[in-house]
């Protein structure tokens, strides 16, 4: 491989939330961190080089966004996914979650219901509730081996009610790792068209797709679907640059683009930092090969976890994700409550994972593990879990 993803890392003095804020969300900072979704991998050297050039200019004032910034995002979408959009349908945003918050407030009224598919990225529900709206769940169906499907009968029941006008789609899905098939996307989209429900698609994970699978932007299905879909995406997960705090939104309707632009202006959050500007454009124009090799590395880490569990801790169930770098581990065979499982991971295994119940009630008994790191970190994490389960067996 051209790039080395197994280099030992040291994030001390990096102000890393993943390594130094465990005490805020979990119990302490001395756990092995495999939780929050950023990588313990250096970003693409092409991006680092571009940012160094910016540093060497020694001036970090306000910046504007050139046309090439939006064109790079549109070209990446066409090159990687075969879906062409006009750059002027794009707008810059501080992040996907802030985008969701603004759209929830502008597209719904207080007390209205919004549909999500649980277990799902927990800021979805938090954003809905914090803005005074009500969460409605279309619970995904686990076949018992970690493969999740959509309950379409329930989905139609929910969207056909007159009190749901907005559906937030997670595609690829975090945390269950599904890359939705074209027929699944089409069925959801057709039902939303039939019952006049708008779609907000969070596609931030679309670049991290395992071999043999293909991400299809839901808006690419047809002009009719495109017209009801607002898509959020970002290179931040792709290139491990989440700290640069920026993302894109695609608006099919100009009046909604203008609405969103106005809201950003009211909050005075319309500008990029000098570094997100160069990092995003460099990633989208020069780093295809880096992403391809990254996915190969991540796939290898996943295979290691699966084989380790099969050989040494068969009490745990896991299925290889189709997308994302997050593994959804099923510990339900241990028979622990959600509180007991969380305590077990932190106090016995000495590892920081995202507790499954954060993602909704259907996530109880699960833990989400981030394997976007050098192999030695995956090995250490699995050894810790194995040791804790061995002690559990003996008791």
Strand partners for 33: 352
For the chain, percent helix, then strand, then coil, each to nearest 5? Answer: 50, 15, 40
Closest among 309, 357, 301 to 326, alpha carbons compared: 301
- Residue tagged 């994490």 (tokens): 381
Under 8 Å between Cβ of 47 and 362: no
pLDDT tens digits for the chain (395 residues)?
A: 899 999 999 998 899 999 999 888 787 888 999 999 999 999 999 999 999 999 999 999 999 999 999 999 999 999 999 999 999 999 999 999 999 999 999 999 999 999 999 999 999 999 999 999 999 999 999 998 899 999 999 999 999 987 999 999 999 999 999 999 999 999 999 999 999 999 999 999 999 999 999 999 999 999 999 999 999 999 999 999 999 999 999 999 999 999 999 999 999 999 999 999 999 999 999 999 999 999 999 999 999 999 999 999 999 999 999 999 999 999 999 999 999 999 999 999 999 999 999 999 999 999 999 999 999 999 999 999 999 999 999 98
User: How far, CA to CA in Å, does 195 sit from each of 124, 188, 190, 220, 276?
Assistant: 22, 11, 9, 20, 39
Under 8 Å between Cβ of 46 and 57: no
The 8-class DSSP code of residue 272 comes to P
Query: For residue 54, what are its two tokens?
Result: 């910016």
User: How far, CA to CA in Å, does 52 sit from each of 46, 69, 94, 246, 277?
Assistant: 10, 18, 22, 19, 13
User: How far, CA to CA in Å, does 381 sit from each of 3, 197, 230, 233, 309?
Assistant: 23, 43, 38, 30, 12
- Measured between alpha carbons, how far is 219 from 185 in angstroms, rounded to an integer? 10
User: How far, CA to CA in Å, does 326 sit from each of 208, 318, 348?
Assistant: 10, 11, 22
Type and span of the H or E element at 250: strand 247-250
Per the rule left: phi > 0, alpha: psi between -120 and 50, beta: everything else, 15 is left
The 8-class DSSP code of residue 317 comes to B
Nearest-Å Rg of the Cα atoms of the chain is 21
């Amino acid at each position: 491989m051209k790039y080395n993803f197994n280099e030992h890392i040291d994030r001390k003095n990096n102000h890393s939330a993943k390594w130094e804020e465990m005490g805020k969300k979990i119990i302490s900072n001395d756990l092995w961190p495999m939780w929050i979704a950023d990588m313990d991998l250096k970003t693409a050297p092409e991006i680092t080089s571009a940012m160094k050039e910016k540093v060497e200019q020694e001036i970090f004032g306000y910046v504007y966004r050139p046309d090439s910034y939006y064109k790079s995002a549109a070209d990446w979408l066409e090159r990687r996914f075969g879906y062409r959009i006009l750059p002027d349908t794009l707008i810059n945003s501080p992040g996907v979650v802030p985008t969701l918050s603004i759209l929830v407030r502008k597209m719904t009224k207080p007390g209205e219901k919004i549909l999500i598919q649980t277990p799902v990225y927990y800021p979805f529900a938090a954003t809905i509730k914090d803005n005074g709206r009500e969460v409605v769940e279309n619970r995904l169906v686990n076949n018992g081996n970690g493969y999740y499907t959509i309950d379409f009968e329930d989905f139609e029941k929910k969207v056909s009610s007159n009190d749901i006008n907005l559906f937030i789609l997670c595609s690829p899905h975090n945390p269950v790792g599904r890359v939705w098939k074209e027929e699944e996307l089409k069925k959801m989209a057709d039902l939303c068209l039939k019952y006049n429900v708008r779609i907000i698609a969070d596609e931030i994970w679309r670049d991290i797709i395992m071999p043999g699978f293909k991400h299809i932007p839901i808006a690419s299905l047809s002009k009719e679907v495109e017209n009801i879909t607002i898509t959020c995406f970002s290179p931040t997960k792709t290139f491990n640059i989440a700290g640069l705090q920026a993302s894109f939104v695609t608006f099919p309707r100009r009046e909604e683009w203008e609405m969103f632009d106005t809201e950003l202006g009211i909050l005075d959050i319309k500008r990029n930092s000098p570094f997100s500007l160069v990092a995003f454009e460099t990633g989208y124009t020069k780093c295809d090969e880096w992403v391809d090799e990254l996915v190969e590395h991540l796939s290898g880490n996943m295979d290691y976890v699966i084989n380790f569990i099969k050989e040494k801790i068969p009490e745990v169930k896991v299925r290889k994700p189709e997308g994302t770098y997050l593994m959804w581990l099923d510990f339900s065979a241990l028979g622990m409550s959600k509180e007991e499982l969380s305590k077990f991971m932190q106090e016995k295994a000495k590892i920081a994972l995202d507790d499954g119940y954060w993602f909704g009630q259907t996530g109880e008994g699960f833990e989400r593990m981030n394997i976007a790191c050098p192999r030695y970190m995956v090995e250490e994490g699995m050894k810790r879990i194995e040791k804790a389960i061995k002690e559990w067996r003996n008791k």
